[in-house]
Each structure stands twice: as C-alpha cells, then as structure tokens.
Structure 1
Amino acid sequence: MQRTRLDTARIRAARRVIDPVFLDTPLYRCEALEPDLGCEVSIKLETANPVRSFKARGTELVAAKLAATGASAVVCASAGNLGQALAWSARGRGIDVTVVASRSATAAKLDRIRALGARLELVDGDHESARERAAALARRDGIRLLEDSLDLETCEGAATIGLELAAAARPFDAVLIALGGGALATGVGHVLKEAAPGVEVICVQPLRAPAMTLSWRARRVVTTDSADTIADGVAGRCPLPAVLGDLLLVADDAVLVEEASIVAGMRLLLDRAGLVAEPSAALGVAAILEDRDRFAGRHVVTLLCGGNVDARAYRRWVGAAPGRIR
C-alpha cells in the first residue's frame, strides 16, 4: 500500500513540541446550525488561540527545529495566517522572521504580522509571486525557506488535529476540510485514514480558486491562471506535486463551492453560532449548504481553520451592523 510523506509517530511526538495553547481545541456539536444545514454538525474550533488559526501547530515544529540547530532566521511566503503563526513561534526563540506577502493580502493579517515582530515584504501579484520572492531571499541570505504544505512540519503539525478528532468521544461520518496548499487536508487525512478509516475525508475549495481540486480529480498537477476568491487563505494557483501525491492517498472527495455559499456560511456561523470565521473557514459549511441531500442524516465535522478577517470586508460580506464586530 502506498504511503504518504507523513509519519504518525512523528505526529504524535509533535504534540510534545507544540505549545499547549494550540492543542486540544474545542470540538462540540453545534445544534444551532443544524436546522439550516439539515444534518448533525460538530465544529472543530481552530480560532481560539493567539494567532486565530491552525497554522501555529506547524510553525511551532519549524521554530523548535530551527532553535535546536542554532539557526537565526527564516523566511516564508504567506497570505497572512502562516506569517502570523511563524512570527509568534519564532519570537520567543530568538529567530528573525521575514514574511513575503502580496500587496493585495488582507490588511488585518499584514498588520498582525508586523505587530508580532516579523519583517514584512510586499510584492505585486498574487501568492505565487510571493512564493518566488521568498525563495529568492532564502537563496540570497542562506536562510531557511519555510514552504507551507511542502515542508512536513506544516503537514504534521496540522495532523495533530486529526489525532484529536480520532480521539473524539462521539463518532462522526465525515470531516470537511478547507483545501488550499494541502497541509491541513493531507495532515488530518493521513491520521484519519489510519485511526478512523470509516470517516469520509472531504476537501472543499472555492470554485474561483480550484487548482488543487482540479489536480486531485485529474490525478496530476493542474495549474490555473487566476485565483480570484474572497477565501484568500486557499487561493493558490500552482499545486505542489509532492503534496498532491499525499492528497490522492487520503482524500475521498474534493468539491468546489460558489462565493455566495462561502458568504452564506460565514453569516450562518456568526448568526447561529456566534463565531467569526474567515472565508476559508466557512468552506465546510458552504459545502453542506450546496448539497444538503448528501449530508442529510449524517454527523459531519467541519474544521474552522481561521478567524482573521478585515472588519470592513467582513461586515460587508455578512451584512452585520458595525457594532457586531470590532
């Protein structure tokens, strides 16, 4: 049987390295969502931590390894959440961080990267342009380049979420995972295929940023010319072959959802559950909204992977009154 690049023993060991503030995040049934979605829904809440996303599970491993080897600097490309997480993890370990991001990235995420002490370099173009610049800086300065989803720390850190899901007291039938570069999907999927093989692993991506889903369906890398979606955290155009190889082994399905469904999911999460979700985090709810029949009568877990939003854009999307989010 083919194996992914990930190793379950390393994933279990990762829990001893990751700061406990990022571990054992809430997992609970959210009955308030169920009348709208038509199925039993549980939420795995990855926003209740200092960086408001799951990304620090991976950056904690990266920063710990860098500190152990005496490295003093690291660079990454980020749409915002990875950069925040890396800055947080490196700050206490004396490691200098440079984050390269697109000028079009969410301003609130960029502000938080700066506030956490990282050097921020903005580039024209999209996330792929940021990846190219980060790689160039790493070569020029001779420092570690952190490549999200390609570097195993990012996948195996995310995979600790899978361990927590597998240990859940109540069984569930399917898990809905936001799909971008692939670290979250391959990490969680790897663990569940070993520990809970009966759980359907469903990846969800915006229709307007479909590269990894198209690649999964074609079983080969498919690149796209654009990734024009409000879900900036998953807006890649050029899937990595090694990550796709892992995804092909662990994902049961990959679905695409409309922008309107993403917005509807964000609104439901706010109005019914009191949760602020960035667009990428609402993809699972969007998938249920678009195909209620598929999930009817099932117990579904959706991963809320991030809650970093631009307040103005968020109010516009969900139609919230100004006083409802600061």
Structure 2
Amino acid sequence: MPQTRLDTDRIRAARRVIDPVFLDSPLYRCDALEPELGCAVSIKLETANPVRSFKGRGTELIAAGLGAGSVVCASAGNLGQALAWSGRKRGLDVTVVASRAAPAAKLDRIRALGARLELVDGDFDAARERASDIARRDGIRLVEDSLDVETCEGAATIGLEIARQAPSAEVVLIALGGGAMATGIGHVLTELAPGVEVVCVQPAGAPAMTLSYRERRVVTTESTNTIADGVAGRCPIPEVLDDLLQVADDAVLVEEDSIVAGVRMLFEHAGLVVEPSGALGVAALLENRERFADRRVVTVVCGGNVDPAAHRCWVAPRPT
C-alpha cells in the first residue's frame, strides 16, 4: 500500500459526505479522438457539476468538517468557486484571494456564488501568501489546496470511480498542479489497480512540481508562462511531493501548442468546452504517440471554466 498522508477508508467514507452532484461523473470512451491520437481514449468528465471542476469533491469535505464560521483560501479560480459553493450551502463566510490576472470568468463566478473576493498583484503564490496573512490576522481557517488532506482525499474519490468504471484501463493521465488530484487518484489506483500506469502532466511553462518529482526534492521556479492557469504554481509543497513520489509512475511536460491543440480537439471531436488544464492529458497523448500507441488510456478532464474569448481563439479554424 502507498505510504502517503491519505487513507483509503477515509476516501471511501468521503462519498457519504460529498454532495452527490459531484460524484460518479461520466467516464466514456471517445471513439472520435482515437484516429487522431492512436490509442483507445476514455474521458473522465469532471466538468459536469455546478462548479465545472473536480474541486467540489474536496471543498465538500472541508465545509462539512467546519460546520460554521469563516474560511479563506487562495485560488487560481476553480478552488475558490468550489469553496464558495460548498460554503454557501452550509452558511460559511468565505473569502477567496486570487491574482488580478486570473481569468475574469472564474472571478465573476466566485463573486456570483457569494464569496468575498480579494485580488492581489502577482501570481497564485502571491495570493497564497495573502490568504495566509488574512487567516493569521482574523484567526480563521486557511484552506490550502493539496496541503489540506481533505482536498486530496476528495479528489481521490475520482480514483475509486475510475477503478470501478474502467477496469481495463492501462494508463490514467492526470493534470498536475499543486498535486491534490494527482496524489489522490494515484493513491487509490496504486492500491486498488496497481497495474495501471499513473502519469501526471504539467505545462512546460509551469514545471515546478514535475521538476521536483524528477529530482525528488522541492524545486521552485521564478515565474510561470502558460495558458493553463489552473496548474501554474511556482512553489511545490513538500508534503505533497512526498505523496506524489509514492503514487505516480511518471510526470511529463507538454508544450503550449499541444495544450491548445488538446482544447481544440476536445471541442471538435468530443463537443467539450474545457480549460487548458483539462486538456493536458490530450496534449500528452499528442506529444507521446509512440509511448501510448494502442493502449487503453483514461484522461481526466478536470475543469471547464474557460474565458469565452480565449476559447474562441483556441478553437478557431486553422489556416489551410
């Protein structure tokens, strides 16, 4: 069994706490993608819920554990929406700190869900520092994505579903940012489906966690440069890296052109509107055709909160 901070019995119990609207998301084979990618591709669709990402699974556990009071988090957009949704349902006072550069669609949705939104200059890690300051100043709970084990064990319920829904899967591709989804799904699959290869995918323009995985130590970067804002962190969390090293078989980096191509392919061939982070698995298939040729692959489409104008540019017909 993987020696991580996660516990499989708690993960199973989490399904009784998480709102069913986030559970049992569709997993289906997408034949239309296969001629382009050269393998049997199944999509695990984590956008078909009220916050259009997998993050609600973890925030449900956090909000249920708090019961009442105030909470603050830093977010690139999706965690903030999810915490606002879970908190509103339970009467929590939610503050979200985000970068001014975060997609406007994500920020607008956080406000619409009733959370207090504070914007900061800089990137996600600057928002994380500000959220920590607010928590200390006001004496309230700081939710730290990936460090808080609830966020990992909530995401791990996806792994339970993959193991049940796709018993013949050979590879699962998981977007890698802070690491909650990768460590959660990886923990479950390592225990329940040890023959499945767990491959994490990160943009080459935001490589900190992948570099850390490869060097087996925390590697920080000075900046990020990627359209996949949801996974654009610079400072990996040591505890999360320790977990990832136990459950991931590999971590790969993909280029921006491949991410855009993945967004376009999911729109054209699967009818899905996804944010760049949700297309990382398809990007990895595009860049590693020989490695995944003729294999049965599940890719987790983890988010669909995308700026409409940017998405129109990415999926626009290409010049012939």
TM (norm. structure 1) is: 0.96
Amino acid at match of 2:53: S
Instruction: Report whether the alignment pairs 1:31 with 2:34.
Output: no
Deviations 1:181-234 (A, max 9, x none): 000000000000000000000000000000000000000000001111000000
Q: Which residue of 1 aligns with 2:156?
A: 159
Q: Distance in 2 between the 1:248 and 1:76 partners?
A: 26
- Alignment CA distance shift 1:155-1:2 (3 Å): closer
In structure 2, the gaps of 5 or more residues are none
Amino acid at match of 2:63: A
Q: Which residue of 1 aligns with 2:240?
A: 243
Q: Which residue of 2 aligns with 1:73?
A: 70
Q: Which residue of 2 aligns with 1:7?
A: 7
Q: Distance in 2 between the 1:167 and 1:291 partners?
A: 27
1:132 positional shift = 0.2
Q: Secondary structure at the match of 1:256?
A: strand
Q: Distance in 1 between the 2:270 and 2:260 partners?
A: 15
Q: Distance in 1 between the 2:166 and 2:176 partners?
A: 26
1:9 positional shift = 0.5
Q: Secondary structure at the match of 1:303?
A: strand
Cα contact 2:278–2:301 (8 A) shared by 1: yes
Q: Secondary structure at the match of 1:6?
A: coil
Amino acid at match of 1:232: D
Q: Secondary structure at the match of 1:43?
A: strand
Q: Which residue of 2 aligns with 1:183?
A: 180
Q: Which residue of 1 aligns with 2:108?
A: 111
Q: Which residue of 1 aligns with 2:131?
A: 134
Provide runs of 4+ in structure 1 moved above 6 Å.
Answer: none
1:317 positional shift = 1.6
Deviations 1:14-57 (A, max 9, x none): 00000000000000000000000000000000000000000000
1:168 positional shift = 1.8
In structure 1, the gaps of 5 or more residues are 322-326
Q: Which residue of 1 aligns with 2:142?
A: 145
1:166 positional shift = 0.8
Q: Secondary structure at the match of 2:258?
A: helix
Q: Distance in 2 between the 1:172 and 1:3 partners?
A: 23
Instruction: Report whether the alignment pairs 1:214 with 2:211.
Output: yes
Q: Which residue of 2 aligns with 1:62?
A: 62
Instruction: Report whether the alignment pairs 1:278 with 2:275.
Output: yes
Residue-pair matches, total? 318
Q: Which residue of 2 aligns with 1:18?
A: 18
Q: Distance in 2 between the 1:15 and 1:227 partners?
A: 35
Deviations 1:138-179 (A, max 9, x none): 000000000000000000000000000111254110000000
Q: Distance in 2 between the 1:198 and 1:58 partners?
A: 26
Q: Distance in 2 between the 1:100 and 1:228 partners?
A: 20
Q: Secondary structure at the match of 2:127?
A: helix
1:117 positional shift = 0.1
Within 5 A, what are the aligned runs for 1:231-270?
Answer: 231-270=228-267
Q: Which residue of 2 aligns with 1:324?
A: none
Amino acid at match of 1:233: G
Amino acid at match of 1:223: T
Q: Distance in 2 between the 1:137 and 1:176 partners?
A: 35
Q: Which residue of 2 aligns with 1:82?
A: 79
1:260 positional shift = 0.2
Q: Secondary structure at the match of 1:245?
A: helix
Amino acid at match of 2:54: F
Q: Distance in 2 between the 1:37 and 1:169 partners?
A: 19
Q: Distance in 2 between the 1:142 and 1:300 partners?
A: 45
TM (norm. structure 2) is: 0.98
Q: Secondary structure at the match of 2:165?
A: coil
Q: What RMSD over aligned residues (CA atoms) do the two structures have, in Å?
A: 1.0
- Which stretch shifts more, 312-321 or 263-272? 312-321
Cα contact 2:42–2:298 (8 A) shared by 1: yes
Q: Distance in 2 between the 1:273 and 1:136 partners?
A: 43
1:320 positional shift = 6.1
Amino acid at match of 1:118: A
Cα contact 2:278–2:302 (8 A) shared by 1: yes
Q: Distance in 1 between the 2:161 and 2:135 partners?
A: 34
Q: Distance in 2 between the 1:276 and 1:293 partners?
A: 27
Deviations 1:274-325 (A, max 9, x none): 001100000000000001111111000000000000001111122169xxxx
Q: Secondary structure at the match of 2:236?
A: coil
1:93 positional shift = 0.6
